[in-house]
Amino acid sequence: MAVRAAAVACWTACVFLVASLTALAQRSHTPSLPFATPAGFPEPRVPSDNPVTADKVEVGRRLFYDTRLSGNQTESCSSCHEQELAFTDGRAQSVGSTGQVHPRSAPSLVNVAYNSTLTWANPALLTLEAQMQVPLFGTSPVELGINDHNKSAVLKRIKRDRWYRRHFPRAFESKGRAISWKNIVRSIASFQRSIVSAKSRYDRYLRGKAELTDAQSRGMDLFMGEEAQCHHCHGTFLFSDQATYEGAPRVPVLFHNNGLYNIDGTGAYPENNEGLAAITGRKRDTGKFKAPSLRNVALTAPYMHDGSIPTLRAVVEHYSRGGRLIEDGPLAGDGRDSPYLDPLIAPLDLSERQKKDLVAFLKSLTDKSVTTNPRFSDPFKHRRHKGSSPDRT
């Protein structure tokens, strides 16, 4: 077992190395970054019209935590993406600034620069700049609640702030009209791209700077082998099959039906949560969602697109069974009998120890540095503790 685990670790390290070498070959085409790309990580793709700079990241960080960037000044981006929870919110379903409950949970923003797509089931949103339009201006559901009636007023709040008037021109090398919606979006996207995590126990193990416990080693062997088969959907340095980077081949993005629902045995999913089918209109895409990155997964409960599985242990039970059984109620059905179930999902019948080992390995993917790093923290925190408004700068 130890020999096999070592071989798996060697294979993983090789994957990291190949990705890095590919990226290095392309680096001359990539805008320089104001932060170091971690060892074993390739360069992220960055739009040519929005290179990441330290000034943009600084402005974006402040905007990310600024409640004035919502229609009613009650929420910020960080309301659904809290640093200590690996930039999720701990809710099964997020709640917008007007109190509207969303049908889905807030995905983690850690390493979001490497995501091929940026929502649970929309293959069209491929850049952070494009995705930003949804939380800012979306109406179904409402998130930050900016609309045609308050859009000018929200922008004026930002323009009136002395800190922003000082720093936007530096970030965008402009003395006039630097504060605009376009530049607000560019700044927040730049901050999000800076949230990179690669210091988990597992990462340090790959670099020869930490040891895995016996349970974590066995769990890694299971995860990356054919007995548990987790790596098919959660491979790559991102622990997701939707990873991209500078120099990576352009390939179709993958979405999966993992047998979470099979309402009335028809393969149906709850209304407003049909997955990819809501975009494509194809029945066969019912219940297809992206396989999220598992980095920091121990911090991001509850799980699945709708937060309907509460713990990591329950997630492992779900995959061991090969689909979820809901015995009664309006959502009743056996997920493993769904006509739309992904062929990769099948009963594994894992033993009790194997389930515990998989959970132990998943916990080794936690990087506490990303949840405590001041570079990603709330710049208004001290002022809020004193009861002051963030606009007194």
Does residue 188 surpass a pLDDT of 90? yes
Comparing CA positions, the residue from 332, 67, 43 lying closest to residue 193 is 43
Does residue 7 surpass a pLDDT of 60? no
Does residue 102 surpass a pLDDT of 80? yes
Looking at residue 348, the DSSP 8-state letter turns out to be -
* All structural domains of the chain with their residue ranges: 54-196, 200-366
The stretch 149-177 carries a mean pLDDT of 94
Structural class in CATH, domain 200-366: mainly alpha
Distance of alpha carbon 359 from its chain centroid, rounded? Answer: 20
Share of the chain above pLDDT 90, in %: 84
Name which residue leads in pLDDT, 200 or 20.
200
| pLDDT at residue 383, as a whole number | 61
| pLDDT at residue 382, as a whole number | 67
Looking at residue 57, the DSSP 8-state letter turns out to be H
Identical fold between 54-196 and 200-366: yes
End-to-end CA distance of the chain: 59
Q: Which residue has the tokens 């081949």?
A: 249
Q: What is the mean pLDDT of the chain?
A: 90
| pLDDT at residue 187, as a whole number | 98
DSSP string, 17-49: HHHHHHHHHHGGGS---SSPPPTT-PPPP--TT
Name which residue leads in pLDDT, 22 or 351.
351
pLDDT, tens digit, 9 for 90 and up, residues 107-137: 999 999 999 999 999 999 999 999 999 999 9
Indicate the range of 20-29, 72-81, 90-99 predicted with least confidence: 20-29
Q: Which residue has the tokens 């009963």?
A: 347
Q: Which residue has the tokens 């910020």?
A: 76
Omega of the bond prior to 141 within 30 degrees of 0, cis?
yes
Does residue 160 surpass a pLDDT of 70? yes
| pLDDT at residue 175, as a whole number | 67
pLDDT, tens digit, 9 for 90 and up, residues 15-36: 433 343 333 333 334 455 788 8
CATH architecture, range 54-196: Orthogonal Bundle (1.10)
pLDDT, tens digit, 9 for 90 and up, residues 274-298: 999 999 999 999 999 999 999 999 9
- Helical axes 151-160 vs 181-193, angle rounded to 10°: 70
Flag whether the pTM goes above 0.85. yes
